Structure 1
Amino acid sequence: MTSPSPRSDVLPSTPNAPDRIGARAWWAIIIVGLVGQVAWVVENMYLNVFVYERITQDPTIIAVMVAFSAIAATFATIIVGAWSDRSGRRRRFVTIGYVLWGASTAAFGLLAPPSGAVAAPFVIAAIVGIIALDCIMSLIGSGANSAAFGAWVTDVTTPRTRGLADAVLAMMPLLAMLLVFATLDGLTRQGDWRLFFCITGGATIISGIVGGMLMRDVPKIPSVDDEESVWRRMLVGFRPSTMRANPSLYATFGMILVLATASQVFLPYVIIYLQYGLQVDSYALVLGVSLIVASLISVLGGVLMNRVGKRRMLLPSAVLFAAGLLGMFLARESVWVITAAAIALGGMMIAFAAASAIARDETPQGHAGMVQGLRMVAGVMIPMMIGPFIGAWVIVGSGQTYVDLGVERPVPGPEIFLASAIVLVLVPVLQFFHDRAQERAR
């Protein structure tokens, strides 16, 4: 197989896609995208809270769980991405995958004790069980959402429509968090984790069925690559010849890696920080207001992105992200926490939207699934193997604790936000290399 053309960054990766997104496709993007992010909120944030409250307060265990799930998720995305590229049937992967994803999410309720924490003799078994089930859920969810659904969005969009589409998708994690906080957070406060996991799992199953009715696969264009096996297609993106042919695409992955690593330094611990570090009783309200404002910022950023271009929006949005993180480092009162969190999350979503849209534009024709696999390596696996451990190292190093029933327990401090902001310093460096690569290609 030949390496993808270096000029793929200036051509639509799916020539058959129209220059507008139809109503049916928009509904699929919104429903499948939103509920998928609800499932990720449960896995990436609330599962950490569940482990912290019911199993162990050791932040390193949370970091290990996040890292293992990231590896599993990336492995699944690479396989399903290559498989769906070869078959061209993204819809089937999404529908079946979401049903299985919902079932595995609901299964977390089986590991939740009826009340209180796991008894001491069973802590190790509970940790192993949670990590194993988290990996299974991540395998299924990433194959369905990150690989098949992500590639399908590339199929049904063009460079003219991707700015807004990716801005909407970038807003979904914020809306998902807001939806979970507003409707389900009370269950976790009451300790009803079983019902919490069952509801989110059921919603995922239903969205997969609905998405299967709405989605339509874009007709696949025959190519010489069709005869290659799935296993050979999996390795295309890791070949040095492919990297040399598409340097700007891999520079974009570098920026996604930095943005995602910065977010993973604080996101796994943010609810724990608000609840136990700042001792904000109404942390759901604080996060809810922050998410609403951040969503508005993200939408406005998406509209502006369509006017000024994705590349021009990337660096300013990363600066906005860093400014919000510095604000979180300094904020102590709820009003300032809300303001800083809205700025940080809004900037983060716009930056992710810009980088994701650029990567879609630079996707070689016929390799949308492959690019989703590479995006998982850069945007999920490596950041989730590095970011949470940076956060855990900062938490342990700061030495901040609280006393619960006479026992001193470690608690995240504001230093996690400062560490996250420092990571973002690499974004302008990588954008410089990206722009140089594009100039050479032209």
Structure 2
Amino acid sequence: MEQRNKLNMRIWLSFILFGLAGQVAWAIENMYLNLFMYRTITTDPFWIALMVASSAVVATLTTLIMGAWSDRLGKRRIFLCAGYFLWGISVILFSASNTSFVAKLFPNSAHIVELTAIFLIILDLIMTFFGSTANDAVFNAYVAEMTTREYRGKIEGLLSSFPLLAMLLVFGILDPIAQGGKWNVFFLIVGVATALLGLLGFVVLPQDKTKPSTTGVWANLRYAFSREAFLENPVYYAALGLLFVVSVSMQVYMPYIIIYIQEFLGFDDYAILLGVVLIASSIVSILAGRLIDRKGFLYPFPYFFTTALVGLVGMFFVRSMVYVGIAVFIMLASYLVLTTIATATLREYTPEGKAGRFQGIRMIFCVMLPMIIGPFVGSALFTQSDAVYLDLGSEKKVPTPNIYLGAAVILLFSLYFYFSLRKKIGRGKLHEREQR
């Protein structure tokens, strides 16, 4: 692959600001919109489920179409900056999602609660459209195009740590506001910060290097799913498979880990310990990125694959808070590094000038499908649990340690894609560093 110029400070700054802000904004949607609807509009789980499902569909379709369109126009900067600005504005509008406001719009309606729920879902879909355009489609393409080979691991190690750091920021700064019921302030802070970042991007981001494609949007959209693309980019699809398996395995336990700690283990004062674990795991991810740059994309895989299994097995057996903290650290840090390995390889071997159209297939196989398959497998592993807890008004079963063994079994399938990549390395398909 053609060598690009080394990264300058503006590019590093753009990765940090837009990458972390995007994860914070997504954390708000994933963790707080359900709570907002439950506490201020309706406790009916149907509306919450409808909002989650419709948002997932819109996010996937948006990434597919807007990624292909950004390739067609050869524009990343305008999509990224304008997308973040409008993303922020759409978050601010959530403060209007209340029954009083909707009652003024429909004074004669007897279904104000239902209309308010629909209004919130529509706003969520608008926000999802702008967020997926800016972050899922364009930012990921921007990272693939602007990062040089020498810095690929460092960048991916940093980006892989952002979801955990975003959780810390949200819980540490914004959660007290939400728990206090100050939702207008909550959405205003997040929305204004995101919108201002979009405006700042016009100053910080360098000009586009991507040239407009000669093919249409539909042709761009189809290409990533075509046999032609698969044959032309075997390393990309092997890395995609690796990331898919790692992501599915992680989603078997990740949606339930806090519930497991609270309800199964009975730990209440775990916040500080979890915060330390998240920070330490993020540091390991960043340091591993540097190792990848020095030794090669696949060098750390056997070590962190092994430690991931150790952490998962540890979580199955341990019960004391200290040992649980150690096991969670080993497990999360290992998964972050495995994700870094896969995403670094994925971005490095994204076809030149076609990064946008490949974000849709990445979204499907590394976000949407893992978030469907993983939790389904996880929940199936504790269906026999007798203990229950309440979640937004619904009675649900308490997760059991079986979820960690299930995740370990799924992770074993990643070996197929690892050895597939090693085989391609043996044919000289990758850089010399990976052949050693």
Alpha-carbon RMSD:
3.1
Q: Decide which of 207, 211, 225 is 1:238's aligned counterpart.
A: 225
Match of 2:74 among 70, 88, 111: 88
Alignment partner of 1:22 is 2:12: no
Relative to structure 1, the CA distance from residue 382 to residue 64 in structure 2 (aligned partners, 3 Å threshold; closer, same or farther) is farther
Shift of 1:422: 2.6
Q: One-letter code of the match for 1:139? A: F
- Match status 1:69 vs 2:60: no
Q: Is residue 154 of structure 1 aligned with residue 144 of structure 2?
A: yes
Alignment partner, residue 293 of structure 2: 306
What are the superposed Cα offsets for residues 253-300 of structure 1, whole Å, 9 maximum, x if unpaired? 111111122222333333444444444433432321111111121122
From the superposition, tell whether residues 140 and 333 of structure 1 become closer, same or farther in structure 2 (CA, over 3 Å).
farther
Question: Runs of 5+ in structure 1 lacking a partner?
Answer: 1-10, 115-120
Distance in 1 of aligned mates of 2:15 and 2:217:
26
State TM-score, norm by structure 2: 0.84
Q: Does 1:39 align with 2:25?
A: yes
> What pairs up with 1:123-202 in 2 under 5 angstroms?
132-202=122-192
Asked if 1:99 corresponds to 2:96, the answer is no
What CA distance in whole angstroms lies between the structure 2 residues aligned with 1:279 and 1:202?
38
Corresponding residue of 2:108: none
| 1:289 has 2:276 as partner | yes
Is the contact between residue 329 and residue 417 of structure 1 (CA under 8 Å) also seen in structure 2?
Answer: yes
Residues 69 and 432 of structure 1: CA distance in aligned 2, closer, same or farther (over 3 Å)? farther
Using the alignment, how far apart are the partners of 2:314 and 2:36 within structure 1?
28
1:6 aligns with none
Q: Distance in 2 between matches of 1:263 and 1:143?
A: 25
Secondary structure of the 2:395 match is strand
TM-score (ref. length: structure 1): 0.83
CA–CA separation in structure 2 for the residues paired with 1:310 and 1:62: 40
Distance 1:181 1:81, change over 3 A: same
Amino acid at match of 1:71: V
The Cα offsets for residues 168-209 of structure 1, whole Å up to 9 and x where unpaired, read as: 111111211111122122223334444333322222212222
- The correspondence for 1:217, drawn from 186, 207, 220, is 207
AA aligned opposite 1:340: A
Residue of 252, 265, 283 corresponding to 1:265: 252
* Aligned-pair CA distance for 1:110: 4.3
Match of 1:319 in 2: 306
Contact residue 7 and residue 148 of structure 2 kept, 8 A = no
Pairing 1:364–2:354 present: no
Are the aligned partners of 2:153 and 2:291 in contact in 1 as well (CA < 8 Å)?
no
Q: Distance in 1 between matches of 2:126 and 2:241?
A: 27
Work out which of the residue numbers 347, 354, 357 in structure 1 matches 2:334: 347
Preserved CA contact (<8 Å) 1:78 1:372 = yes
Residue in structure 2 matching 1:410, options 378, 396, 400? 396
| Alpha-carbon distance in structure 2 between the residues aligned to 1:423 and 1:152 | 31
**Structure 1's 88 and 359: CA in aligned 2 closer, same or farther, altered over 3 A?**
same
SS in 1 for 2:224: helix
Q: How many residues end up aligned between the 2 structures?
A: 416
2:249 & 2:112 partners in 1: Cα distance? 34
Which residue identity is paired with 1:32? F
CA 68–329 in structure 1, closer or farther in 2 if over 3 Å, else same: farther
Measured against aligned partners, the alpha-carbon deviations of 1:234-259 in whole angstroms (never above 9, x if no partner) come to 11111111112222211111111111
CA shift at 1:369, angstroms? 1.2
Shift of 1:48: 5.1
Matches of 2:245 and 2:414 in 1, distance apart?
7
Give distance in 2, aligned partners of 1:334 and 1:113.
Answer: 43
CA distances 1:312-348 after superposition (whole Å, capped 9, x unpaired): 2234323333333333333443323322222222112
Report matched runs for 1:43-58 at 5 Å: 43-47=29-33
1:409 counterpart SS class? strand
2:370 alignment partner in structure 1: 383
Q: Deviation per CA, 1:366-403, whole angstroms, max 9, x where unpaired? A: 11112222211221121122223333434544242147
Given residue 91 of structure 1, which amino acid in structure 2 is its aligned partner? R
Unmatched 5+ stretches in structure 2: 101-110, 430-436
1:425 aligns with 2:412: yes
Q: Counterpart amino acid of 1:176?
A: A
1:207 partnered with 2:197: yes
Deviation at 1:95, TM superposition (A): 1.0
Deviation at 1:126? 6.9
Give the residue type in structure 1 aligned to 2:251. Answer: Q
Contact residue 168 and residue 302 of structure 1 kept, 8 A: yes
Measured after TM superposition, the shift of residue 37 of structure 1 is 0.8
How far apart, in 2, do the equivalents of 1:39 and 1:380 lie?
A: 16
State percent identity of aligned pairs: 39
Alpha-carbon spacing, 1:164–1:187, altered in 2? closer, same or farther (3 Å): same
Distance 1:65 1:326 in 2: 35
